[in-house]
Amino acid sequence: MRIQLTEVREGDILLRDIFNDHGTLVLSAGTILKAKDRGLLERHMIDQLDIIERLTPQYSIDSMAEAVVERHTSKNASKEQLIHQYEAAIQHTNLIFESAAQDGMVEDEVIEQTYLPLLSQIEKERDVVSLMMLMNGEEDYTYQHSIQVSVLSFYLATWLGYSEENARRVGKAGYLHDIGKCMIDRKLINKPGALNDEEFDQIKQHTLFGQQIISNSFEDEWLSLAALQHHERMDGTGYPVGLTADRIHEVARIVAVADVYSAMISNRVYRKKQDLFSVLKEMNQMSYSLLDPHITHTFIRKMLPNFLSKRAKLSDGRVGIIIMNHHTEFFRPLIQLDQQFIDLSTNRSIEIEEIMTTA
């Protein structure tokens, strides 16, 4: 039953999930609507919604139970399938790296059997932040990182207007960007302390190894250049060559943004992971010299709506819900604390310290 927002009654039950224009989940199917929910929907400019038919006195009990059970069953099944695909991809990535180290090449069929099923599954997921939280476990960093960069590169290419086919190519480039690390001593990659100059020079070689392995395996410049150039920086301070700005291939610049975000939100042997929200602030600063500004700002603008409705720990220790972003103050949203609202754009003494992993 589709109704206008003005027709909503307290106790109506949502039939379907409601997403805003950014693809962020606003309210889930099975939600029993209350007066405050109308205000939430108005803020997200939702003017129509689907509710369960108001048929019988049992509507508010039986229909609600049925809707809630159906919603949880469907979402749990989807999450379990995604976790299964992710764990399988981790295992396959391990084997792919081992094979590349031995043979100096990879098989396209094996690559596509690994990352395509995962991409097909994540295309159903609109909440990229929750997706990154799910894919940020205790698995081997190199393999987890390859999958994260594949996923983020795919999303970012889509946001930049690439066709679905080419977005998948960019996702593939993200998946293979670090394949050259298979030729680097694992002890060096997993060294817990700082690298000396000689060790860092060895690590830098993974870009050259990666280009060679991919060139042996594919006739696709996007893939090989992403592996070679994803550590190049716009101001020329990157490696292996020190290219600047437009001399860096666009796909490599996309993968670079995904690579930086994934690296900073992940646990490393020498550094703890950083908060998903705080990393975006740091990347905004990097866009002025190191990362492509258009690509980075597109990434930030598309990621920020995914933080809506997430629990945020504030710098004063309180925990609230992010309910609205500002068009200019990207990193200072409106926070709800019970019945109180804090506008971080005007209250400059408080900042978001951490995005909580549970609702």
What's the predicted TM-score (pTM) here?
Answer: 0.79
pLDDT score for 319 = 95
Whole-angstrom distance, CA of residue 248 vs CA of residue 259: 15
97-153 residue pLDDT tens: 999 999 999 999 999 888 888 888 777 666 787 778 777 765 578 899 999 999 999
**DSSP run (H or E) holding 229:** helix 221-229
Task: Say if residues 243 and 225 touch (Cβ distance below 8 Å).
Answer: no
Task: Say if residues 3 and 51 touch (Cβ distance below 8 Å).
Answer: yes
327: nearest Cα among 345, 309, 341:
345
69-108 residue pLDDT tens: 454 455 555 677 778 788 888 889 999 999 999 999 999 9
Q: In which residue ranges of the chain is pLDDT below 70?
A: 22-24, 30, 53-78, 124-126, 137-139, 268-271, 357-359
The 10 Å Cβ neighbour count of residue 255 is 34
